Structure 1
Amino acid sequence: MDALYTAVATATGRDGRAVSSDGTLDLPLALPQVLGGSGRGTNPEQLFAAGYAACFASAMATVARQEKIDVSEVAVTAEVGIGKDAEDGGFALSVVIRAELPDHLQGGPGRALLEKTHAFCPYSKATRGNIPVELVIE
């Protein structure tokens, strides 16, 4: 792959800062309260969820354009869970992608679009075989 764009960011840990090389992203980081942190900042799971949702929505627009499907009313939500990894005792991630689809995409047509998008989306390609990703139509 020849990269068309490379994002660069530096983080100082879960209780620190995340800053992009151009300074556009500059966020305090904090462990969520439910995991024992202060919750006074974003966390890697929120950042991953935002990135995955945006990427999936963009990929869906591309797939839909190729198939002449209107997805102007579609919203994509990514839920990123973190929990104990049973294999090594560390942590692991899981993702649920929720696509809010209009009536004309409910049922089979929407499921087909989600599956094609999941095959096309760069985030989905990166996670395939590594973490469970569930696709849900709402």
Structure 2
Amino acid sequence: MSEVLFTSSATAQNGRNGHVKSDDGLIDMNLVMPTDDTDEKGTNPEQLFAATYSACYDGALNLVAKKKKKDIESTTTADVSFMKDPEDNGFKIGVVLNIEVKGVSQEEAEELAQAAHQVCPYSKATRGNVDVELKPKAV
């Protein structure tokens, strides 16, 4: 196993219609399935994954740009979809990363986006398991 730099911990209770809480209490949320007909307010695993993937990917993008001596500003929005999986009659997720990059050409934005996708820990974790579409845009 690789050298551990830090570990984060969260506990979920009662699945998609339950509660999730981080060990430090910063995350403390009810979980609600968006497809359920309910007035309950809460988040869902896909929303939480979108937040964490977009943050991780945007960090990787900025790291790659810095190494290539590119001065950029960036915004990454992750759209995480919960979908039926026709292969096993179960479910799966798909991700579209909408990446806005200021300070480079469209071609450079595309190159940086691909390079970031190779080094981002979340991209590495999902590779081969989750369909991820990159949509870089120079702004």
Q: TM-score, normalised by structure 1?
A: 0.92
Kept after mapping to 2: 8 A contact 1:30/1:43? yes
Deviations 1:9-54 (A, max 9, x none): 001111111101111211111111xx12435100000000000000
Deviations 1:57-88 (A, max 9, x none): 111111111111112x2100000011110111
Q: Distance in 2 between matches of 1:101 and 1:23?
A: 33
For 2:132, the equivalent position in structure 1 comes to 133
Alignment gaps of 5+ in structure 2: none
For 2:36, the equivalent position in structure 1 comes to 36
Q: How does 1:1-138 map onto structure 2 within 5 Å? A: 1-12=2-13, 13-32=15-34, 35-38=35-38, 40-71=41-72, 73-102=73-102, 104-138=103-137
Q: TM-score, normalised by structure 2?
A: 0.91
More displaced stretch, 127-136 vs 18-27: 18-27
More displaced stretch, 36-45 vs 127-136: 36-45
Q: Identical aligned pairs, as a percentage?
A: 45
Matched residue SS, 2:17: coil
| Aligned CA-pair RMSD | 1.2
1:135: Cα distance to partner?
0.3
Q: Distance in 2 between matches of 1:55 and 1:101?
A: 15
Larger relative strand fraction: 2
Alignment gaps of 5+ in structure 1: none
Aligned residues: 134
Moved beyond 4 Å, runs of 4+: none
